[in-house]
Amino acid sequence: MTEKRSADVLVIGGGIMGCATAYRLSKKGLDVLVLEKKEIGNGGSCRNAGGVRQSARDPKELPLAMYAVEHIWPTLSDELGVNVEYVQKGNIRLGLTEKDIKELEARMSEDVRGCAGRVMDMYEAPFARDMGIEVERVEKDRVECSMVLEPRMMNSMGRGHGAAVYALIDHAFGIASNLYEDNTGQSTEVKFYRPAAGKLTAEAVLVNRSRSLAVFDVRVRSEERKLIASAVCTSFVIRKP
């Protein structure tokens, strides 16, 4: 076996960016070598939610996303001879309008309505949007979020993936702990009781708040109100208002 020692272009990293770059350059006739430290698709490219969207993106990414949706994804399976499972369905998110804030405020108890902007920022976090996590109810010491488990969030047994359930727990905890002061997660201890499916609801309830720490009890329940998972989540207070 001969080892390839030189090329016109070296690409470091065999994720979607590296492989797509190498593919396009080699189609232009360049000799390209991809150097991957582990295996192709070792990073985020093999562990993502698979959404191809133009909404809820950093505006700087938009021209690239729009180009890809128009010119790359629709024909990629034919071009590569591999089914990349691209289906165009649509995805609309309307931004931070007064109406959105009003809708959110209606789900907040009166004493925390002044925090609607902070909650909206957390609601808009790209990861939470990818997972489709909704904010159901926000009170001073209690936050409820929900999420519908989609096929892409299942494990190999066809049940809700632990990481997806954890994402819901973490989001409810994140909103509860950052409602009116800046906190950062210190620890989460999660227990799973039942397989998860369908719509899940996570309720984060404040157990204790000291000057430097806040502790929350988070419970995830199914639509039938069965306990799916629970967690004790602790955060450091990093800045008070």
Ligand X SMILES: Cc1cc2nc3c(=O)[nH]c(=O)nc-3n(C[C@H](O)[C@H](O)[C@H](O)COP(=O)(O)OP(=O)(O)OC[C@H]3O[C@@H](n4cnc5c(N)ncnc54)[C@H](O)[C@@H]3O)c2cc1C
Write out the residues near ligand X by the rule CB under 6 A.
12-18, 35-38, 42-45, 47-51, 130
- For the chain, the residue count is 241
CB of 129 to ligand X, least distance (A): 9
Which is nearer to ligand X, 108 or 164 (by Cβ)? 164
Residue 86 — φ and ψ, nearest 5°? Answer: -85, 125
Which is nearer to ligand X, 23 or 236 (by Cβ)? 23
CB of 146 to ligand X, least distance (A): 19
Which is nearer to ligand X, 15 or 140 (by Cβ)? 15
Which is nearer to ligand X, 26 or 45 (by Cβ)? 45
- What is d(CA 30, CA 6) in angstroms, rounded to the nearest whole number? 12
- What is d(CA 40, CA 26) in angstroms, rounded to the nearest whole number? 17
CB of 47 to ligand X, least distance (A): 5
- What is d(CA 56, CA 91) in angstroms, rounded to the nearest whole number? 10
CB of 33 to ligand X, least distance (A): 11
Which is nearer to ligand X, 51 or 185 (by Cβ)? 51
Supply 206's token pair: 């404040």
Please report, to the nearest 10 degrees, the dihedral formed by the alpha carbons of residues 196, 197, 198, 199 taken in order.
0
Closest CA to 145 of 160, 163, 128, 121: 128
**Residue 235 in 3-state DSSP?**
strand
- What is d(CA 238, CA 241) in angstroms, rounded to the nearest whole number? 10
Cβ atoms of 43 and 15 closer than 8 Å:
yes
CB of 127 to ligand X, least distance (A): 7
Which is nearer to ligand X, 50 or 114 (by Cβ)? 50
Closest CA to 208 of 182, 184, 230, 237: 237
CB of 77 to ligand X, least distance (A): 17
